[in-house]
Structure 1
Amino acid sequence: MATAYGPDTRDQYGPAAGSGGRPPARPTKHPFPAALRAPFEGRVWRELAYLFLSVPISTALFCFAITMVSLGLGMLITFLGIPILAAGLTLCRGFGMLERARARALLHLDVAEPAPVRGTGGLMSWVGATLKSGVSWRHLLYAVLHFPWAVFAFPVAVTFWAVGWSAFTYPLWRWVFPAYAGIDGIQLYGDETHQTYLDSPFEMAVTSGIGLAFLMVTPWLLRGLTTVDRLLVSGLLGPSTLATRVSELESDRGVVVDTAAADLRRIERDLHDGAQARLVALAMDLGLAKEKLTADPEAAARMVDEAHGEVKVALQELRDLARGIHPAVLTDRGLDAALSAIASRCTVPVKVEVDLRSRPAQAIEGIAYFTVSELLQNISKHSRATRASVDVWRTADRLMLQVTDNGRGGADASSGSGLAGLAERLDAVDGVLVVDSPAGGPTTVTAELPWRG
């Protein structure tokens, strides 16, 4: 692992893969295909419940929003219109909290809370901040747009659901008609001289088949209808794109600051425990040799010879430390030579292919180098592989890295391991880390970085 990214060397392939180091159990295959299971899955019932609840909730929200806006705009001729309008927007945001909770429970859609309205102090400051808040107006827009959509989506969903189940189960409840209505079944046609009923076994089977077709279509219809609801909730009730981007940049800045602090602590520790300690011992040895120079020249010569060896070791440690900060070969010759150098130090044979016609930005080049270095270090320590490969290429304005090994697999970037830390560091520069490592291998780790050349 590249020391420039910190000392985390937890096993990516062992305990993280499952309990007690065993690989995670693979999901069992269901005996029925998804199309047949869909009408009976919980997702269908949750989406139907969501569409059912949308009618009363959106009706109340629409009526409230229109009333408050009309009252506020109508009262703008007086001073009261402004606080009334602000109060209406605030209560629309309250309804938005309810809608986000409903989408989270029934649609499994987790939408972040938008930033609260903050005034500088006092009622008028709060009113002004509310009226200037784009989030508040988007909540009002949701209240207006969701009502007609709910009025359309609910009857369509309920019609398909009710027709499907009633027709599919028709042979089970046809007895109701002759027992209580005095007819043979569902009447398709009737006049003074002729009536047509669904009462024969063939007709009931056809009716049940039509109902089954409706049942098969209903889950996908519900999914399409609730997709519009998902877009409305995520687009109008969540934080703005700019606010989300600012939050991401703040998080990325925190990762960069923490990484830089960890690097400084590592450098200080390496200097204190390594080269500095050797230089202190070297100074003491040279001092003793100076004192014995006249009394015992042979002992002084031996001490100087030992000090010469210590100087060589200290120089090697300083070179290793400098290579960990930023290798000279990377600056002078680029990724191809630098990656070939670290591949030669790996404990397994590594094939390196770099297809770059130009060099990316120095910062991106350094991150790419240390990413490959850490991945090769993980392969050496944990994968039990016999061969590995490193591929680097450019796609549009992105730098792509792919490290593959034929080891035991089971690497997981979501378990708080070194791979998770590496993913965070890549995310700090708008990069992406994707790990494909089934139990038993092979493992393929793909990293994507901005080019910024």
Structure 2
Amino acid sequence: MKVRSRLLACLRGLGASVLALVSIILSVLTILSITFIPLGLGVFTTPVMISAVRAHANRRRLLAAQWSGVQIRMPYRPLPHDRRSGVTGQVELCTFLLKDPATWRDLLWLQVDMTAGYVIALLAFVFPPYGVEGSVLAAGVWEPIVDAGGTYWYAFIPVTSQGTANLAALTGLGLIALGLFVSPALLRAHFLLSRAFLAPTPQMALAERVERLTATRHDAVDTSAAELRRIERDLHDGAQARLVAMGMSLGTIEALIEKDPAKAKELLAAARTNSAEALAELRDLVRGIHPPVLAERGLGDAVRALALRMPLPVETEVELPGRFEEPVESAAYFAVSEILTNAAKHSGAERMWLDIHHEAGMLRIAVTDNGGGGARVNHGGGLSGIERRLGTFDGVLAVSSPPGGPTMVTMEIPCAPTAPRPAV
């Protein structure tokens, strides 16, 4: 590891120790707020303080990932959407937050962070500066200090002469080297300690997974029912109506074929046109249920074909090791289709980029456009529906869309190849 990065770890240790001191303030204020709940005041202040604690904890999660590569998942339960307004709603919110086990783990983390966490973070910082102090003593700085206050102790060395000052300087250099060596490890240890309290416990993770699977199961059932209704409606209003009309035309042709051959020939041409249109509608319907190219060639070729049909140019980069389970391929294909279609309609983009690859057991999909940005995962919106469908496979969706663009929609689905890529 380079000296610069080790020095940076030392400075980050100082930043982490300052944040650990913030934990003291938040801990005191939150505990006081909870104790005021029986008086009524705490009902209004506790949600505010818990939100502040969560923001503080989320800041630590972000720094853990950025500074030491320590990933800390958020364990918080989503806030209820149907919360009432006024005092009643405030009471419900306060009760909901206090019933969340993550709230009490955050409070426990505050106690640990302002004690052991503070000490570890400070140790990650203190060695190099203290080493610099010892190093400058040999430059004659020791004399006025000793003259003013007598013997000056540096670490375990009593500095009373130039010789002992030189020894202190050597010790200081050693402390600088030691600090540069241990600072990254101590900083990582600080964040690992935080993860022990901020990450969800196995029980919390299991409860979250059960809740998510329950929700996605309901969504999958609702989606399937809606899809069946759509297919029935399309068949009834499209191909079925054309086939009925064609049957009636054939009956008329049968009656006219001897009396008025010219008219029968005209009706035969119309029936042929209706049959072609009915066949095209049936093909479109089948493609909407499960595209033939997806079944025959797999996800990679299917999304390439999809990109060619878009009204905007789409640059595709696909690197897949082979085929995946049919439900996974279908979910990924229709998610990409909906995102590309929405971007083409609403983003104002001139180009789009599609990247699909498989890595570390994850199918990763990124769709980017150079449009105006502002896309959000709103409840009941299209992106929300994609997120719920991916949740059926434990997949996740993330959206980055600042005002002015660009917009990037990233999806990950845990899966493994079921068949190798066919030889070309």
TM range (shorter): 0.5 to 0.7
Return the match for 2:214 from 228, 243, 250: 250
Return the match for 1:353 from 317, 321, 324: 317
Task: Tell me the residue number matched to 1:50.
Answer: 27
Q: Number of aligned residue pairs: give it.
A: 287
Contact 2:366 2:411 (C-alpha < 8 Å) held by counterparts: yes
Return the match for 1:270 from 234, 238, 259: 234
Contact 2:350 2:371 (C-alpha < 8 Å) held by counterparts: yes
Contact 1:46 1:106 (C-alpha < 8 Å) held by counterparts: no
The alignment status of 1:314 with 2:278, answered yes or no, reads yes
Return the match for 1:393 from 357, 367, 385: 357
- Name the SS for the 1:378 alignment partner: helix
- Please give the alpha-carbon distance, in whole angstroms, between the structure 1 residues aligned to 2:50 and 2:331: 37
With over 3 angstroms needed to count, the CA separation of the structure-2 counterparts of 1:228 and 1:101, relative to structure 1, is farther
Gapped regions of structure 1 (runs ≥ 5)? 1-34, 59-96, 114-137, 158-188, 190-223
For residue 228 of structure 1, report the CA deviation from its aligned partner: 8.2
Output the TM-score relative to the length of structure 2: 0.56
- Please give the alpha-carbon distance, in whole angstroms, between the structure 1 residues aligned to 2:349 and 2:391: 28
The alignment status of 1:427 with 2:391, answered yes or no, reads yes
Return the match for 1:407 from 371, 385, 389: 371
Return the match for 1:104 from 50, 68, 77: 50
- Please give the alpha-carbon distance, in whole angstroms, between the structure 2 residues aligned to 1:259 and 1:416: 13
For residue 230 of structure 1, report the CA deviation from its aligned partner: 10
- Please give the alpha-carbon distance, in whole angstroms, between the structure 2 residues aligned to 1:389 and 1:320: 25
List aligned pairs for 1:111-260, cutoff 5 A.
Answer: 111-112=76-77, 240-260=204-224
Return the match for 1:443 from 403, 407, 411: 407
Higher relative contact order (CA 8 A, sep 6+): 1
Residue deviations 1:93-135 (CA, integer Å, cap 9, x gap): xxxx9xx97973662488559xxxxxxxxxxxxxxxxxxxxxx
- Please give the alpha-carbon distance, in whole angstroms, between the structure 2 residues aligned to 1:229 and 1:406: 38
Gapped regions of structure 2 (runs ≥ 5)? 1-13, 36-42, 56-74, 79-100, 120-148, 150-188, 418-424
- Please give the alpha-carbon distance, in whole angstroms, between the structure 1 residues aligned to 2:265 and 2:321: 55
Residue deviations 1:155-199 (CA, integer Å, cap 9, x gap): x99xxxxxxxxxxxxxxxxxxxxxxxxxxxxxxx9xxxxxxxxxx
With over 3 angstroms needed to count, the CA separation of the structure-2 counterparts of 1:312 and 1:405, relative to structure 1, is same
Task: Tell me the residue number matched to 1:22.
Answer: none
For residue 231 of structure 1, report the CA deviation from its aligned partner: 6.6
For residue 250 of structure 1, report the CA deviation from its aligned partner: 0.9
Which protein shows a greater Rg? 1
Contact 2:299 2:333 (C-alpha < 8 Å) held by counterparts: yes
With over 3 angstroms needed to count, the CA separation of the structure-2 counterparts of 1:47 and 1:393, relative to structure 1, is same
- Please give the alpha-carbon distance, in whole angstroms, between the structure 1 residues aligned to 2:32 and 2:311: 65
- Please give the alpha-carbon distance, in whole angstroms, between the structure 1 residues aligned to 2:400 and 2:370: 12
Contact 2:373 2:405 (C-alpha < 8 Å) held by counterparts: yes
- Name the SS for the 1:107 alignment partner: helix
Out of 258-267 and 243-252, give the one that drifted further: 243-252
Contact 1:339 1:372 (C-alpha < 8 Å) held by counterparts: yes
Contact 2:26 2:53 (C-alpha < 8 Å) held by counterparts: no
With over 3 angstroms needed to count, the CA separation of the structure-2 counterparts of 1:391 and 1:246, relative to structure 1, is same
- Name the SS for the 2:378 alignment partner: coil
- Name the SS for the 1:294 alignment partner: coil
- Please give the alpha-carbon distance, in whole angstroms, between the structure 1 residues aligned to 2:229 and 2:260: 43
- Please give the alpha-carbon distance, in whole angstroms, between the structure 1 residues aligned to 2:358 and 2:53: 39
Return the match for 1:365 from 309, 312, 329: 329
The alignment status of 1:301 with 2:265, answered yes or no, reads yes
Aligned partner letter, 1:435: V
Contact 1:364 1:452 (C-alpha < 8 Å) held by counterparts: no
- Please give the alpha-carbon distance, in whole angstroms, between the structure 1 residues aligned to 2:198 and 2:314: 49
- Name the SS for the 1:392 alignment partner: strand
Contact 1:410 1:437 (C-alpha < 8 Å) held by counterparts: yes
Aligned partner letter, 2:270: E
Task: Tell me the residue number matched to 2:344.
Answer: 380
With over 3 angstroms needed to count, the CA separation of the structure-2 counterparts of 1:54 and 1:235, relative to structure 1, is farther
- Please give the alpha-carbon distance, in whole angstroms, between the structure 2 residues aligned to 1:445 and 1:382: 14
Q: What is the aligned-residue RMSD (CA, Å)? A: 4.7
Out of 408-417 and 285-294, give the one that drifted further: 408-417
- Please give the alpha-carbon distance, in whole angstroms, between the structure 1 residues aligned to 2:313 and 2:414: 29
Output the TM-score relative to the length of structure 1: 0.53
For residue 348 of structure 1, report the CA deviation from its aligned partner: 1.0
- Please give the alpha-carbon distance, in whole angstroms, between the structure 1 residues aligned to 2:48 and 2:369: 45
Aligned partner letter, 2:271: A
- Name the SS for the 1:404 alignment partner: strand
- Please give the alpha-carbon distance, in whole angstroms, between the structure 2 residues aligned to 1:49 and 1:390: 44
Residue deviations 1:286-330 (CA, integer Å, cap 9, x gap): 111112122211111110111011000000000000001001111
Residue deviations 1:67-87 (CA, integer Å, cap 9, x gap): xxxxxxxxxxxxxxxxxxxxx
For residue 414 of structure 1, report the CA deviation from its aligned partner: 3.0
- Please give the alpha-carbon distance, in whole angstroms, between the structure 1 residues aligned to 2:314 and 2:405: 17
- Please give the alpha-carbon distance, in whole angstroms, between the structure 2 residues aligned to 1:235 and 1:379: 35
With over 3 angstroms needed to count, the CA separation of the structure-2 counterparts of 1:240 and 1:112, relative to structure 1, is same
Return the match for 1:338 from 302, 308, 315: 302
With over 3 angstroms needed to count, the CA separation of the structure-2 counterparts of 1:332 and 1:52, relative to structure 1, is closer
Contact 2:29 2:49 (C-alpha < 8 Å) held by counterparts: no
Contact 2:30 2:50 (C-alpha < 8 Å) held by counterparts: no
Task: Tell me the residue number matched to 1:173.
Answer: none
